[in-house]
Amino acid sequence: MLRFVGRYRIDDIEATRQEYRRVVAEATDRGSTLLLCSNHLTLIDSFLIAWALGSASWYVRHYAALPWNIPERRNFAVSLRQRVSAYVMKCLPITRGGNRGDIARVLAEFVHVLSRGDVGMLFPEAGRSRTGRVDLDAAAVGVGRIIRALPRCQVLCVYLRGRHQETFSDYPIRGERFHVALELVDPKSEHGGLRGSRDLARQVLTVLADMEERFFDAR
């Protein structure tokens, strides 16, 4: 669908996939938990990132490396068919602003599957950027809480941007080419509780903001 319907292309896709394979292998060897964190501009960013990081055949053989993610239920999991498809593609749908108990259950499931060795993906801005740029003030505390809850958590920052993407949208334009950059970080905080969670989330967003600046400087 991404390649033939959207006619999307990823720049330097083989080099990106090789780098991801290396990061996953090293995390497995060290017994680390791997969490992907990315900027967020379109509804299909998680699909584009998964495609950029591995081929379908590679994910069949390395299913743990296909990232779990937490999409908005109203976008991708309304019908039974959508819910089944979403789960097969390792999605745990959540209703943002919904019942706190339901949200807590989904986040606990997310932490559980990652603690068993699977990779996960979150958007630390907790929504598509309304400015079209990484927003440091939009750091989602929940991301920091998840990092704190995961054993030996490393964060792979993923910066994804279409060459023609100026601001947020539902979908990229047809025929878009995407830049993808990866940077592995090990966020730590001296603080506990809510302050520590905010600190961790902001650290991740700061790395993504720096990656964004490098993208625009190079362009």
* Structure confidence by residue, pLDDT tens digits, 87-130: 778 888 887 777 788 888 999 999 999 999 999 999 999 789 98
- Round to whole Å and give the CA distance between 58 and 64: 11
**How confident is the model at residue 78, as a pLDDT?**
63
Domain map (residue ranges) of the chain = 9-218
DSSP state of 136: G
Q: Where are the alpha helices (DSSP H) in 54-140?
A: 56-61, 73-76, 80-88, 100-115
Residues 192-214, mean pLDDT to the nearest whole number? 96
Strand-pairing partners, residue 154, are 34
Q: Where are the alpha helices (DSSP H) in the chain?
A: 13-30, 45-53, 56-61, 73-76, 80-88, 100-115, 141-149, 193-218
**How confident is the model at residue 41, as a pLDDT?**
97
Q: How many CB atoms lie within 10 A of CB 116?
A: 9
- Round to whole Å and give the CA distance between 57 and 66: 11
Contact present, 114 and 76 (Cβ < 8 Å): no
Q: How many CB atoms lie within 10 A of CB 131?
A: 9
State percent of the chain over pLDDT 70. Answer: 98
Q: Name the CA radius of gyration of the chain, rounded.
A: 16
**How confident is the model at residue 80, as a pLDDT?**
75
Q: Residue 152: what are its φ and ψ, rounded to 5°?
A: 50, 50
pLDDT tens sequence across 138-163: 888 889 999 999 989 999 999 999 99
> Residue 79 pLDDT more than 80?
no
Among residues 157, 150, 151, 153, the alpha carbon closest in space to that of 202 is found at 157
Q: At what angle do helices 141-149 and 100-115 cross, to 10 degrees?
A: 40
Q: At what angle do helices 141-149 and 193-218 cross, to 10 degrees?
A: 110
> Residue 76 pLDDT more than 70?
no
Q: Which band of pLDDT confidence, cut at 50, 70 and 90, is reported for residue 77?
A: low
Q: Residue 122: what are its φ and ψ, rounded to 5°?
A: -135, 155
Structure tokens at 45: 């960013």
| CATH number corresponding to 9-218 | 3.40.1130.10
> Residue 72 pLDDT more than 90?
no
